[in-house]
Structure 1
Amino acid sequence: MNLRQIEIFQAVFAAGTASKAAVLLNLSQPAVSKAVQDLERSIGFALFDRSTGRMVPTAEGELFHREVEQTFAGLSRLRSSAARIRDFGSGEIRLASLSALSTNIVPKAIAAFRQRHPQVAITFQTQMSSTIRDLVAAGQFDIGLTSDEVDATGVTVEPFAIYRAAIALPEGHPLCAKPVLSPPDLHGEAFVALAPEDRTRQKLETVLAAAGAVPRIVLETPYSTTVCAMVQAGIGCGLINPLNAEPFLGRGLTWRPFEPALYFCTLLLTPPGRRGSRIAEDARTLLMSFAGERPALPADLHHVPEG
């Protein structure tokens, strides 16, 4: 049994006679009849009843045709997959991001990507930056978005986005009366801190120490979004990327700019020594296009000095 015999069987089944199938396939009628006979011999049962002058499928032929149809459907899917690989290099994209970008930049980029490539499968995970680096370095993910303190060994790195840090405050907090906060304002305040290894937290600690300001750390978390949730709950104030504050604004949280200016810096990682597929490159371009969006200002903030 071979694929050509299956194709001829399919044509005869649809046409009803060997002569009509021969016309469709641009073959001679004897060649079609011989191919069907050879197929029947190889599978061990008759596919057609020839007593009426037509090629009427037997019960076994009907069952066999169902399997053939499934096989041809599979071949059609293979052709579609081959076309996607030819056009874009892959039929899937695997993306990982740190939490700070997973609820704002990344969803917008994925939505735009889906409009361009609705048939491409997308795998997305939110992970710690160190985990993302390992996944990209191992070739398990095509693109990773991480904080700038990540170890860049074994990956290709390029700058992604930079956002000026701010101080999140519970609505009604006394510091809300100030348009801009400085290190002395945080002295003694209940503070929800980012993880000690976070580079922006380290920069904040440096400027606080220089001013002799010591906040009262009540909770630590690696996620800026979690800082916002804790501030919203009234646990304290905290250093945040304003991008993460958007869902919380007007719902128990506001923010103020901080002087001197501090920044959250992020990186885009790709696997080393490997040319990315066309869809991976398109995803990278879309992510970059959304990276420059500025965070929305809180309604009660009238002036933000540029950093």
Structure 2
Amino acid sequence: MRKPVRSEVGQADKEVSFRSLRVFAEIMRTGSATAAAKQLSLSQPAVSKLISQLETKVGFDLFYRDRGKLVPTADGTKLMQEVDLTLASLDRFNSLVRDIAGYSAGTIRVVAPPSFAEGVLPDIVSRFRDRFPGVEFSIDSRSVGTARSMIAMRYVDCGFVKLPTDETDLELDEIVTSGSLCVMREDHPLANYDSISPTDIGLHPLILLGAGGYWRAQVDAAFASCGLKPVVAIETHTHGSACALAGRGNGLAILNDLLVRPYIQAPLVTRPFTPPITHTYAFAVSNVARPSRLTEEFKKEALSFFLERPQNSLSAEGK
């Protein structure tokens, strides 16, 4: 077993290469110079040489050599914590360089409310990746309030939020407005109506999204304007679950036209809800810093998607 070596070298000679740091980190991760060489597509002698050079540069041993095995020293283990941070920073720098060079690679972190993330966002992301297949996505699905905070604090690059919002630290671009639909089984008593109002619904049991939100307040107000109060059989929180419940005969659901489309299949049918209740969504970024070019390109894709998308198709097809 070799004792740690203390090298007396000048300050200028202590500069180390990122390549040797990657080799060091890979040996620490895999526990083997052979495995590290394979992972990094290097020969084992090249790995050993880089580690030896690194130890000379830093002035202390990083590993004990014990019968052909590399055992991290206490100094090596301590250094690894800083190496991880250094390499992570370098990776972020390289990702930004690739982004600026031409969208060939990079990561976009997106947040959206659950039903939007499930019902609409996959189409937008798929279109974007058809154009830029090297771009990776990290998609987070959170409540409206949490999504706004994540965008404002720059935990994500961008997101989709429902308007109106009183957030002053967001830059908002309105992208789409949709109406509302009644979703029910084809054998529901109201399925033969061309459109459905609160008066038509009367005492029929309803499936509504959870109380307390702006959308639910709009539904309650529509019924109140007719002197009625909705008879809520089930409260849920996503359009997918509301449609599944309606398909099993639990009642009639009043839902967002835009977000409900992926879930409409037999035996479900849709009819427009009147008076119209609209839903407006915006593409949001933090106004603290200018978004990356990759994020700007993703915004253009979202705008293009909704401009090309036929509106109110379910209202017509569901009859």
Deviation at 1:163, TM superposition (A): 0.5
More displaced 10-residue stretch of structure 1: 103-112 or 126-135: 103-112
Distance in 1 between residues matched to 2:156 and 2:314, nearest whole Å? 34
Runs of 4+ in 1 over 6 A off after TM superposition: 1-5, 68-71, 77-80
Contact 1:169–1:176 (CA under 8 A) maintained in structure 2 = yes
| Change in 2 beyond 3 A, CA 1:149/1:100 | farther
Which of 261, 269, 275 is residue 260 of structure 1 equivalent to? 275
Aligned to 1:296: 313
Contact 2:124–2:302 (CA under 8 A) maintained in structure 1 = yes
Deviations 1:154-204, CA, capped at 9 Å, x for gaps: 222232211011111122101001111112111111011122333233222
Matches within 5 A, 1:13-24: none
Deviation at 1:299, TM superposition (A): 7.8
Matches within 5 A, 1:224-243: 224-243=239-258
Aligned pairs, how many? 245
**Correspondence 1:84 to 2:98:** yes
| Change in 2 beyond 3 A, CA 1:99/1:291 | farther
Computed over aligned residues only, the root mean square deviation of the Cα atoms, in angstroms, reads 3.3
Contact 1:136–1:155 (CA under 8 A) maintained in structure 2 = yes
Contact 1:246–1:296 (CA under 8 A) maintained in structure 2 = no
The letter for the 1-side match of 2:318 is: L
Matches within 5 A, 1:66-215: 66=47, 81=95, 83-87=97-101, 91-215=106-230
Unaligned runs of 5+ in 1: 8-61, 303-307
Q: Percent identity, aligned pairs only?
A: 21
Deviation at 1:230, TM superposition (A): 1.7
Q: TM-score if structure 1 supplies the norm length?
A: 0.69
Aligned to 1:305: none
Aligned to 1:65: 46
Distance in 1 between residues matched to 2:49 and 2:108, nearest whole Å? 32
Contact 1:168–1:237 (CA under 8 A) maintained in structure 2 = yes
More displaced 10-residue stretch of structure 1: 127-136 or 62-71: 62-71
More displaced 10-residue stretch of structure 1: 97-106 or 273-282: 97-106
Distance in 2 between residues matched to 1:138 and 1:82, nearest whole Å? 19
Contact 1:98–1:146 (CA under 8 A) maintained in structure 2 = yes
| Change in 2 beyond 3 A, CA 1:218/1:92 | same
Unaligned runs of 5+ in 2: 1-12, 20-42, 54-86
The letter for the 2-side match of 1:84 is: R
Higher CA-based Rg: 1
SS at match of 2:191: helix
Distance in 1 between residues matched to 2:276 and 2:92, nearest whole Å? 54
Deviation at 1:219, TM superposition (A): 1.7
Distance in 1 between residues matched to 2:183 and 2:264, nearest whole Å? 10
